[in-house]
A and B are shown apart, each in its own frame.
Chain A
Amino acid sequence: MTPGLSSLSHLKFGLSSSGFVRKLKGALALAVVACGVSPSPGQVTVSQLRTYSLEELMGMDVTSVSRKAEPFYETAGAVAVLTGSEIQQIGSRTLADALRYVPGLEVARVDFRNWAISSRGFNASNSNKMLVLMDGRTVYSPLFSGVFWDVQDTFLPDLDRIEVIRGPGATMWGSNAVNGVISMTTKDARYTQGGLITAGLGVEEKAFAGVRYGGEIPGKLYYRVYAQTTRRDDLLTATGVDLNREWTSTQTGFRIDSAAPKENGSVTFQGDYYHGSVGATANISTPFTGGNLVLRATKPFANDMEFTTQVYFDYLSRYVYQQYGEVRRTYDFDTQLRFSPWEHHDVVAGFNYRSSADQTRTGSLISFVPVDRRLQLGSMFVQDEIRWHEEMFGLILGSKFEYHQKVGVEIQPSIRLALRTRRSTLWAAVSRALRTPSRYDEDSRFGPLPTNPQLMGSHHFQSESVVAYELGYRAQYFTSFTWDVSLFFNDYDNLRSQEPTGLRQPRILSNKLMAETYGAEIALKWQPVRRWRLQASYSHLVDEFHLASDSRDITNGSQEANDPKNTANLRSHLVLGGGLEWDVGLRYVSSLPNPAQPAYLATDTRLAWRYRGQWEFALVGQNIFDNQHTEFGTRVSDQVQRGYYGSVTWEF
Chain B
Amino acid sequence: MGILGFLAVRTRWILFLVLAPALWAADGHGGLSEQELKAAALNQVVHFTRWPVGTFADADSALVIGIFGEDPFGNLIDELVQGEVASGHPVKVVRCFTPEAAAACHVVYVVDAGLRSTDRLLHYLSDRSILTVSGDEAFVERGGIICLTVRSSRIRILVNLEAAKRANVTLSSKLLRLAEIVKKP
Q: Does B95 contact A (CB under 8 A)?
A: yes
In the bound complex, residues from chain A placing their C-beta under 8 Å from that of B36 are 8, 37-39, 44, 49
In the bound complex, residues from chain B placing their C-beta under 8 Å from that of A58 are 41, 154-157, 178
- Among B32, B43, B117, the residue within 8 A (CB) of A63 is B32
Is the pair A193, B97 in contact by a Cβ cutoff of 8 Å?
A: yes
Is the pair B17, A520 in contact by a Cβ cutoff of 8 Å?
A: yes
Q: Does A190 contact B (CB under 8 A)?
A: yes
Give the distance in Å from the alpha carbon of A652 to the alpha carbon of B98 in the complex: 12
- List CB contacts (< 8 Å) of B69-94 with chain A: 69-76, 79-80, 84
Q: Does B33 contact A (CB under 8 A)?
A: yes
Max count, chain A CB within 10 A of own CB: residue among B35, B48, B101: B35
Is the pair A62, B32 in contact by a Cβ cutoff of 8 Å?
A: yes
CB distance from B181 to the nearest CB of A (A): 16
In the bound complex, residues from chain A placing their C-beta under 8 Å from that of B17 are 485, 487, 520
- Given A11-B74, A489-B6, A50-B40 contact (CB < 8 Å): yes
Q: Does B132 contact A (CB under 8 A)?
A: no
Is the pair B116, A610 in contact by a Cβ cutoff of 8 Å?
A: yes
Is the pair B32, A39 in contact by a Cβ cutoff of 8 Å?
A: yes
- Given A8-B76, A64-B34, A544-B1, A216-B41 contact (CB < 8 Å): no
Q: Chain A residue with minimal CB distance to B97?
A: A190
Q: Does A424 contact B (CB under 8 A)?
A: yes
Is the pair B155, A62 in contact by a Cβ cutoff of 8 Å?
A: yes
Q: Does B137 contact A (CB under 8 A)?
A: yes
Question: Which label, helix, strand, loop or mixed, suits the secondary structure of the A interface?
Answer: mixed
Is the pair B44, A53 in contact by a Cβ cutoff of 8 Å?
A: yes
- List CB contacts (< 8 Å) of A23-63 with chain B: 35-40, 43-44, 46, 49-50, 52-55, 57-63
In the bound complex, residues from chain A placing their C-beta under 8 Å from that of B174 are 54
- Among A10, A193, A485, the residue within 8 A (CB) of B21 is A485
In the bound complex, residues from chain A placing their C-beta under 8 Å from that of B69 are 191
Q: Does A612 contact B (CB under 8 A)?
A: yes
- Given A66-B33, A651-B116, A54-B3 contact (CB < 8 Å): no
In the bound complex, residues from chain A placing their C-beta under 8 Å from that of B98 are 193-194, 216
Chain B interface residue count, Cβ-Cβ cutoff 8 angstroms? 67
Q: Does A451 contact B (CB under 8 A)?
A: no
In the bound complex, residues from chain B placing their C-beta under 8 Å from that of A14 are 71-75
Is the pair A7, B79 in contact by a Cβ cutoff of 8 Å?
A: yes
Q: Does A301 contact B (CB under 8 A)?
A: no
Is the pair A614, B74 in contact by a Cβ cutoff of 8 Å?
A: no
Q: Does A222 contact B (CB under 8 A)?
A: yes
Is the pair A616, B116 in contact by a Cβ cutoff of 8 Å?
A: yes
Is the pair A479, B116 in contact by a Cβ cutoff of 8 Å?
A: no
Is the pair B40, A67 in contact by a Cβ cutoff of 8 Å?
A: no
CB distance from B90 to the nearest CB of A (A): 15
Contact bitstring A468-492, B, C-beta under 8 A = 1, else 0: 0101110111110001010101010
Q: Which segment, of B23-31, B52-60, B159-167, faces chain A?
A: B23-31
Is the pair A11, B31 in contact by a Cβ cutoff of 8 Å?
A: no
- Among B39, B122, B142, B154, the residue within 8 A (CB) of A59 is B154
Is the pair A475, B178 in contact by a Cβ cutoff of 8 Å?
A: no
- Given A613-B120, A613-B142, A60-B155 contact (CB < 8 Å): yes
CB distance from A330 to the nearest CB of B (A): 31
Q: Chain B residue with minimal CB distance to A430?
A: B3
Contact bitstring A411-422, B, C-beta under 8 A = 1, else 0: 000000000011
Q: Does A528 contact B (CB under 8 A)?
A: no
Is the pair B79, A4 in contact by a Cβ cutoff of 8 Å?
A: yes
Is the pair B40, A11 in contact by a Cβ cutoff of 8 Å?
A: no
Is the pair A426, B6 in contact by a Cβ cutoff of 8 Å?
A: no
Q: Does A13 contact B (CB under 8 A)?
A: yes
- Given A4-B79, A46-B76, A57-B44, A424-B25 contact (CB < 8 Å): yes
Give the distance in Å from the alpha carbon of A4 to the alpha carbon of B82 in the complex: 12
In the bound complex, residues from chain B placing their C-beta under 8 Å from that of A516 are 1, 6
Is the pair B43, A50 in contact by a Cβ cutoff of 8 Å?
A: yes
Is the pair A36, B33 in contact by a Cβ cutoff of 8 Å?
A: yes
- List CB contacts (< 8 Å) of A471-517 with chain B: 471-473, 475-479, 483, 485, 487, 489, 491, 516
Q: Chain B residue with minimal CB distance to A479?
A: B153
Q: Does B150 contact A (CB under 8 A)?
A: yes
Give the distance in Å from the alpha carbon of A188 to the alpha carbon of B32 in the complex: 29
Q: Chain B residue with minimal CB distance to A59?
A: B154
In the bound complex, residues from chain A placing their C-beta under 8 Å from that of B26 are 421, 424
Give the distance in Å from the alpha carbon of A612 to the alpha carbon of B118 in the complex: 10
Is the pair A194, B117 in contact by a Cβ cutoff of 8 Å?
A: yes
In the bound complex, residues from chain B placing their C-beta under 8 Å from that of A649 are 116
CB distance from B8 to the nearest CB of A (A): 12
In the bound complex, residues from chain A placing their C-beta under 8 Å from that of B48 are 54
Q: Does A17 contact B (CB under 8 A)?
A: yes
Q: Does A295 contact B (CB under 8 A)?
A: no
Give the distance in Å from the alpha carbon of A467 to the alpha carbon of B4 in the complex: 13
In the bound complex, residues from chain A placing their C-beta under 8 Å from that of B33 are 36-38, 62-64, 66-67
CB distance from A209 to the nearest CB of B (A): 17
Is the pair A652, B120 in contact by a Cβ cutoff of 8 Å?
A: yes
Give the distance in Å from the alpha carbon of A467 to the alpha carbon of B2 in the complex: 11
In the bound complex, residues from chain B placing their C-beta under 8 Å from that of A63 are 30-33, 153
Is the pair A487, B25 in contact by a Cβ cutoff of 8 Å?
A: no
CB distance from A518 to the nearest CB of B (A): 6
In the bound complex, residues from chain B placing their C-beta under 8 Å from that of A322 are none
Give the distance in Å from the alpha carbon of A47 to the alpha carbon of B34 in the complex: 17
- Among B10, B44, B137, the residue within 8 A (CB) of A518 is B10
Q: Chain B residue with minimal CB distance to A546?
A: B1
Q: Does A85 contact B (CB under 8 A)?
A: yes
Is the pair A422, B75 in contact by a Cβ cutoff of 8 Å?
A: no
- Given A66-B34, A66-B72, A469-B29 contact (CB < 8 Å): no
Q: Does A68 contact B (CB under 8 A)?
A: yes
Q: Does A220 contact B (CB under 8 A)?
A: no
Give the distance in Å from the alpha carbon of A632 to the alpha carbon of B27 in the complex: 45
Q: Chain A residue with minimal CB distance to B70?
A: A191
In the bound complex, residues from chain B placing their C-beta under 8 Å from that of A476 are 25
Is the pair A54, B41 in contact by a Cβ cutoff of 8 Å?
A: yes
Q: Does A261 contact B (CB under 8 A)?
A: yes
Is the pair A475, B120 in contact by a Cβ cutoff of 8 Å?
A: no
Give the distance in Å from the alpha carbon of A66 to the alpha carbon of B33 in the complex: 7
Is the pair B29, A62 in contact by a Cβ cutoff of 8 Å?
A: no
In the bound complex, residues from chain B placing their C-beta under 8 Å from that of A46 are 76, 79-80
Q: Chain A residue with minimal CB distance to B78?
A: A7
Is the pair A613, B116 in contact by a Cβ cutoff of 8 Å?
A: yes
Is the pair A479, B75 in contact by a Cβ cutoff of 8 Å?
A: no
Give the distance in Å from the alpha carbon of A57 to the alpha carbon of B42 in the complex: 11
Q: Can you list 19 contacts pairing A with B, beta carbon distance less than 8 Å?
A: A10-B76, A15-B72, A17-B70, A37-B35, A57-B44, A58-B154, A58-B155, A60-B32, A63-B153, A64-B33, A261-B95, A263-B75, A421-B27, A423-B27, A424-B22, A426-B18, A471-B14, A518-B10, A530-B137
CB-based closest 9 A-B pairs: A613-B119, A14-B74, A63-B31, A40-B29, A190-B97, A11-B74, A651-B116, A475-B25, A10-B75
Chain B residues within 8 Å of A, Cβ to Cβ: 1-3, 6-7, 10, 14, 17-18, 21-22, 24-37, 39-41, 43-45, 48, 69-76, 79-80, 84, 95, 97-98, 101, 114, 116-120, 122, 135, 137-138, 142, 150, 153-157, 174-175, 178
Give 13 A-B pairs besides A54-B48, A67-B35 with Cβ atoms closer than 8 angstroms: A39-B32, A46-B79, A52-B44, A54-B175, A57-B41, A62-B153, A261-B95, A421-B25, A422-B29, A483-B21, A487-B14, A613-B120, A614-B120
